[in-house]
């Protein structure tokens, strides 16, 4: 996978500036630590709604990525449906790469 955003997300992961998993991401969004949330387009309707509602309520930018495989591979894990970036520098750079 040669997507520049995926490589950059991998870098953020190695810097320990991301968190993955639905419950953990929601917790970080609530606490105001999540600066950007990446959600896969193939997430279930329930998960999509929950994450979208939380992000809009707390004013956290939300960006969609193609698939859970792509998101998981970027951070060196199996499949990930949702990832939160906890650092504003990484978040703003990723947002420009994905827009």
Residue ranges and CATH numbers for the domains of the chain are 4-98 (3.30.1330.30)
> Which of 95, 83, 92 is closest to 10 using CA atoms?
83
Asked whether the predicted pLDDT for residue 80 surpasses 80, the reply is: yes
**Separation CA 51–CA 20 (nearest Å):** 12
Going by pLDDT thresholds of 50, 70 and 90, the confidence category of residue 52 is: very high
**Separation CA 86–CA 42 (nearest Å):** 23
Q: What is the mean pLDDT of residues 16-32?
A: 96
Q: What is the CA 45 to chain-centroid distance, rounded? A: 17
Q: What is the mean pLDDT of residues 11-22?
A: 95
Asked whether the predicted pLDDT for residue 90 surpasses 50, the reply is: yes
Asked whether the predicted pLDDT for residue 1 surpasses 80, the reply is: no
Asked whether the predicted pLDDT for residue 2 surpasses 80, the reply is: no
**Separation CA 33–CA 25 (nearest Å):** 10
pTM: 0.94
CA dihedral in degrees (7, 70, 15, 94; nearest 10)?
70
């Amino acid at each position: 996978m040669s997507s520049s955003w995926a490589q950059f997300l991998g870098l953020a992961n190695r810097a320990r500036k991301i968190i993955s998993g639905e419950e953990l991401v929601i917790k970080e969004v609530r606490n105001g630590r999540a600066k950007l949330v990446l959600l896969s387009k193939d997430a279930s309707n329930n998960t999509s709604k929950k994450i979208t509602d939380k992000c809009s309520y707390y004013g956290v930018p939300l960006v969609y990525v193609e698939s859970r495989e792509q998101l998981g591979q970027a951070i060196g894990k199996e499949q990930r449906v949702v990832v939160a970036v906890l650092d504003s520098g990484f978040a703003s750079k990723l947002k420009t790469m994905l827009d």
